[in-house]
């Protein structure tokens, strides 16, 4: 059963009314919806709402809030929905990748996203790039290798719910492990970063004179006679041996990095935890190396609401992992839009723009949000109002201070708490 809401009240008021437009507009005014002219299906007669086509029912059925926006939506916002689901897949023997950069998703200037699969033994070849690479594992097992700026090597295995972070320019590799490789999502801290244009070890070898390679490595030119002349990017390799052996094999006199480049986000004690779900945070205060990316793993139970809030310090890039939900975004203007999300989708909210997320499905909704910032920061609307003189708030909202006093006081994160 749907909750009691202004929207439902409005719908009830409009039900069966032949002159729906006039009557529900009046109701809208009663409930404080000032949109002029009134918007939404509840303010329209049936003829004005019908969509004669052309139509793609399979696609439009995925977006009920775009097809039939809440009457409270108003104005234009830049598209804040995108998806890996319809992104081109570059498939090679060993795995595949697809990406959504700012070229595909204009609003997303702080992050570009990559979704990658590596088969067991599949290798994303040794490479580096200009952006920092943050990633979350969503399936299977993967081995990462990286060398830091002081020549200190790091090798680790990661599983679902784990993160890695490679600072810009640090050389690294990824390899799927048994029994069935891995899948993960990378967020580069630059909207223009591309996984299809990285500095590849094979490219450099192939385009360096053999005599230079020979001198550089103190080896005979013959050593390089079989190097690949085209890059590998992703290729099928053989599964590596035990982790401890690999770690021992790469040991350097420079020592080990002071902080790990991997982190268990799903294993951290939740920052918020109640009957509607959990929020788990990983930023540079806990995942020390992650200086440019703060992350929040959000689990919202069926019927739960990620409370109205905003982030004062950074835009939010979201990867929707499980379940389904909708997000309403508010900005100055006013500009308000509501959109629906499913697994594999990407959401984006500009810094300081208000938003909420509601689980509209019957299973847990899980999404991860990243922010190009060293520290996770959030402002809760209810927490703000609860810690502002109630008489002052009451004069803004025309709500009885006694009722305001019962609003949540400690930023529950998720409601009902
Ligand atoms: Mn990389
Ligand atoms: Mn948020």
Which among 165, 167, 190, 172 has a CA at the least distance from the CA of 128? 172
Q: Which residues are catalytic?
A: 124, 127, 129, 133, 172, 195
Q: How many domains does the chain have?
A: 3
What is the phi/psi pair of residue 284, to 5°?
-70, -10
* Centroid of ligand 1 to alpha carbon of 166 (angstroms): 8
Pair 141, 235 in one domain: yes
Low-confidence ranges of the chain (pLDDT < 70): 1-35
Pair 282, 190 in one domain: no
What is the phi/psi pair of residue 212, to 5°?
-70, -45
Residues in CB range of 335: below 8 A, 6 or more apart? 74, 75, 76, 77
Residues in CB range of 356: below 8 A, 6 or more apart? 305, 306, 307, 308, 309, 327, 328
Residues in CB range of 290: below 8 A, 6 or more apart? 134, 163, 165, 263, 282, 283, 284
The whole domain housing 272 covers: 268-415
Q: Is the entire prediction scored with pTM above 0.95?
A: no
Pair 194, 285 in one domain: no
Pair 275, 402 in one domain: yes
Which among 41, 44, 6 has a CA at the least distance from the CA of 27? 6
Tokens (6 digits) for 13 = 């008021």
Q: Which ligand is closest to the CA of 368, given by its number? A: 2
Q: Tell me, what's the pLDDT at 27?
A: 53
In a domain, 144, yes or no: yes
In a domain, 76, yes or no: no
Residues in CB range of 126: below 8 A, 6 or more apart? 171, 172, 173, 200, 201
Q: Tell me, what's the pLDDT at 35?
A: 66
Q: Report the mean per-residue pLDDT for the chain.
A: 92
Pair 256, 279 in one domain: no
Coil, strand or helix at 237: coil
* Centroid of ligand 2 to alpha carbon of 279 (angstroms): 11
* Centroid of ligand 1 to alpha carbon of 375 (angstroms): 23
Q: Tell me, what's the pLDDT at 392?
A: 97
Protein residues with C-beta less than 5 angstroms from the ion ligand 2: 316
Q: Which ligand is closest to the CA of 318, given by its number? A: 2
* Centroid of ligand 1 to alpha carbon of 94 (angstroms): 16
* Centroid of ligand 1 to alpha carbon of 165 (angstroms): 10
Q: Which ligand is closest to the CA of 187, given by its number? A: 1
**Spatial separation of the C-alpha atoms in residues 325 and 339, rounded to whole Å:** 9
Q: Tell me, what's the pLDDT at 227?
A: 98
Pair 278, 223 in one domain: no
Residues in CB range of 316: below 8 A, 6 or more apart? 347, 348, 349, 355, 369, 370, 371
């Amino acid at each position: 059963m749907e909750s009691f809401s202004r929207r439902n009240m409005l719908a009830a008021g409009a039900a069966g009314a032949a002159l729906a437009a006039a009557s529900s507009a009046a109701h809208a005014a009663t409930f404080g919806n000032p949109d002029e002219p009134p918007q939404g299906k509840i303010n329209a007669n049936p003829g004005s709402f019908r969509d004669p086509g052309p139509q793609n029912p399979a696609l439009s059925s995925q977006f009920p809030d775009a097809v039939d926006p809440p009457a409270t939506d108003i104005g234009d916002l830049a598209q804040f929905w995108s998806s890996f689901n319809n992104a081109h897949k570059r498939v090679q023997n060993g795995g595949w990748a697809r990406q959504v950069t700012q070229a595909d998703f204009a609003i997303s200037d702080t992050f570009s996203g990559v979704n990658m699969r590596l088969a067991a033994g599949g290798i994303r070849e040794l490479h580096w790039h200009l952006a920092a690479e943050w990633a979350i594992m969503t399936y299977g097992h993967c081995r990462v290798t990286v060398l830091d700026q002081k020549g200190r090597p790091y090798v680790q295995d990661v599983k679902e719910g784990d993160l890695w972070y490679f600072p810009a320019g640090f050389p690294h590799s990824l390899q799927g492990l048994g029994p069935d490789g891995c899948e993960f999502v990378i967020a580069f801290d630059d909207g223009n970063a591309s996984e299809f244009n990285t500095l590849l070890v094979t490219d450099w070898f192939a385009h360096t004179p053999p005599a230079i390679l020979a001198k550089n490595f103190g080896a005979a030119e013959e050593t390089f006679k079989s190097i690949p002349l085209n890059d590998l990017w992703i290729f099928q390799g053989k599964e590596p041996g035990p982790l401890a052996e690999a770690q021992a094999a790469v040991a350097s006199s420079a020592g080990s990095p002071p902080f790990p480049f991997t982190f268990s986000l799903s294993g951290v004690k939740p920052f918020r935890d109640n009957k509607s779900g959990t929020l788990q945070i990983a930023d540079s205060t806990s995942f020390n190396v992650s200086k440019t990316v703060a992350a929040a793993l959000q689990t919202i139970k069926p019927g739960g609401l990620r409370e109205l809030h905003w982030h004062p310090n950074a835009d939010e890039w979201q990867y929707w992992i499980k379940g389904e939900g909708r997000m309403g975004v508010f900005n100055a203007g006013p500009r308000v839009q509501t959109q629906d999300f499913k697994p594999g989708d990407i959401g984006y909210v500009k810094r300081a723009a208000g938003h909420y997320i509601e689980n509209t499905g019957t299973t847990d909704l899980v999404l991860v949000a990243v922010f190009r910032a060293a520290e996770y920061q959030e402002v809760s609307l209810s927490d703000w109002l609860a810690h502002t003189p109630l008489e002052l708030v009451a004069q803004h909202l025309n709500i009885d201070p006694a009722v305001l006093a019962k609003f949540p006081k400690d930023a529950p994160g998720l409601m009902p708490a």
